[in-house]
Amino acid sequence: MREIIFVTGNPHKVKEATDIMSPLGIKIEQNDCGYPELQEDTLEAIAGFGARWASNKLNCEVMVDDSGIFIDSLSGFPGPYSAYVARTIGNERILKLLEGETNRSASLKCAIGYCHPGEEPVVFSGKVEGKIAEYIRGKLGFGYDPIFEVGGSTFGEMADEEKNRLSHRYRALAEFARWLKEPIKKIENE
């Protein structure tokens, strides 16, 4: 089983990644060494920088995850600043910002950065479209899950298995897993 170090302080992300990647033969190990986060407008730039920095620091292959919620009526806010906004104002204040708003469309996006020491990072993206619920619903998941609704349910109301089949993180990790398998196929076919 291949092992990849996931550099994050978020155990919820590690659990999701483990649930998604372990059936594919990839073991995820957490390292909470952190990395400097660029102040950028795209998750991809942040994830790529973080992966390169962490792989060089730890001297091994690593992955990092930068995710965010992009709310249409707020011009994509909080976007790459989602973790900060979650810590400082939280879901209740996000709902307050949207009081009376008819356009509640939003998307969750995830960028997985992957890098070997001394190499350029590769970034894989995933996105799921939905909307911001009228109120907090569900006690499952984490972060924006209780206010992000897809198909009539919030991620906070979905069991892990259901959420993991739909989520932005699943989509990014699926792209990453396909890419990881490609070099193996090429070598086997030679």
From the list 19, 66, 145, 160, the catalytic residue is 66
- Please give the span between the terminal C-alpha atoms of the chain, in angstroms, as a whole number: 22
Burial string for 30-67 (b: 16+ CB within 10 Å, else e) reads: bbeeebebbeeebbbbbbbbbbbbbbbeeebbbbbbbb
Could you confirm whether 41 is annotated as catalytic?
no
Residue 31 phi/psi, 5° resolution?
A: -135, 130
Q: What angle separates helix 168-189 from helix 11-21, to the nearest 10 degrees? A: 40
Show which residues are catalytic.
66
